[in-house]
Structures are given as structure tokens and as C-alpha cells.
Structure 1
Amino acid sequence: MHTRVKLLTGLLGSLLILVALSGCGSTTAVPQYEQAEGYRYLERKITDNYYLLSITSKHKADLLINAQTQASILTEQLGFDWYIIVEQNGPDDTTPPYLQTIEIRMGKGIRP
């Protein structure tokens, strides 16, 4: 009986540690920049040189330009020389707010 209690306590302790550590690896996006007129920029780090950027705006025309501008700023801030757009989605909604997402890969030196 005493061995079962120790085993159960050890299993519960291990489970608690596992749950606590799983929260540390979260890649939840956090708003990086927000304005009153509905502009919002979020970035999500996928790897050290691969990011997902999301731009939300009431104005559809400037979304891709804003996304590319944010990609350039992020690339420079992280010390990379260039970036390429790996994938791009949106805007496909017909009513505001519009959403544009791009996935970028950054690098140093000669661009592929």
C-alpha cells in the first residue's frame, strides 16, 4: 500500500511538472503594435529565422505594403541581411477588418 502511494505521488508530480513546462514552449502571438483606427500587427516566431507576420487593418489597399514594411523592420532588428516571403495569405474578406499574413524566412549573406 505504501509503495502505491509513493508511485501515485510521483506520477502526479511528474504530470504537474509536464503541464508547467508545456506552457513555456508556447508560441502564442502577442500584439506588437496597435492603433486606434484598427491597425494591428502580430508576429509569431517559428524558428530563429522564420516568422509569421499578421497585419489587420480597416484599409485593404495597404495591407501587403505594411506587411512587407514590418518584415523589413524585423529582419533588420534581428541582424539579418534579407528576407523572402515563403507564403502569403489574404486579404480575402469583403468587409473590414482585413487580414494579411505572410511567412518569411530571413538570412545573411547572399540571397538564394
Structure 2
Amino acid sequence: MLKNITITLTLIVITLLNGCATPSKLPRYSQTDGYQYIERKITDNYYMLEIISNSKATLHTNTLSQASVLTEQQGFDWYIIVEQHNTDNIKPPYKQHIEIRMGKGIKP
């Protein structure tokens, strides 16, 4: 009986310590020219961008601008928007999610 309790307690302690050792994977927003963004790499030429802006009027422009900057930083010539989601917020902050595929040479 004491052996079973010891094994159970050992497993609980190992589980708790393992949870503490795992770093948090929460995304961090970067700040630039009046908006914040997150870039998530899906593959070498496929990224997800999330843009947050206090201005609904500039949200789309900021999204396209950040996609262009990322494309250039990664050494690609062009990008296409594969998927796009807008958050219908009535008040700030406004969010837009896009997934882009980047390439070199002639754009399809």
C-alpha cells in the first residue's frame, strides 16, 4: 500500500514539474507604425499574419504592407493571399488574419 502511494506521488510530482518546465507558446505581438502584428511560419514559403490596428480605415493597408515586408525579408519576390479573415469589431482594436504564400520569379 505504501509503495502504491509513493509511486502515485512520484508520478504527480513528475507531471507537475514537466508542466512547469514547458515554455509558454503564447504569441508575442511586434509593434510598428501604428499597428501590431504576429507572424507565424507554417512552411518555408507559407505564413499566417495577424494584424491589430486601432484604425479600421488603415487595417487592410497595414496588412498588405506587413505581408510585403515579410515577403522581402524572406527573400521572395511576390506573395498571394491564400486565406483572409476579418474580425467584425464595432470598436477598436480591429483585427485581420491572412495566410500568404510567397514565391520567386513569375507570379502565377
TM superposition score normalised by structure 1: 0.69
Q: CA deviation at 1:87?
A: 0.8
Where structure 2 has 5 or more consecutive residues not aligned to the other structure, the ranges are: 1-10
Q: For residue 4 of structure 1, what is the aligned residue in structure 2? A: none
Cα distance in structure 2, aligned partners of 1:60 and 1:33: 17
Cα distance in structure 2, aligned partners of 1:109 and 1:28: 35
Q: For residue 28 of structure 2, what is the aligned residue in structure 1? A: 30
Q: For residue 75 of structure 2, what is the aligned residue in structure 1? A: 79
Q: For residue 48 of structure 1, what is the aligned residue in structure 2? A: 44
RMSD of aligned alpha carbons = 2.6
Cα distance in structure 2, aligned partners of 1:101 and 1:89: 5
Q: Deviations over 1:65-111 (max 9, x none)?
A: 10100000110011001000001111411111110111100001111
Q: For residue 95 of structure 1, what is the aligned residue in structure 2? A: 91
Match of 2:56 among 45, 60, 64: 60
Cα distance in structure 2, aligned partners of 1:33 and 1:64: 16
Aligned positions, number: 93
Q: Which runs of 4+ in 1 moved over 6 A?
A: none
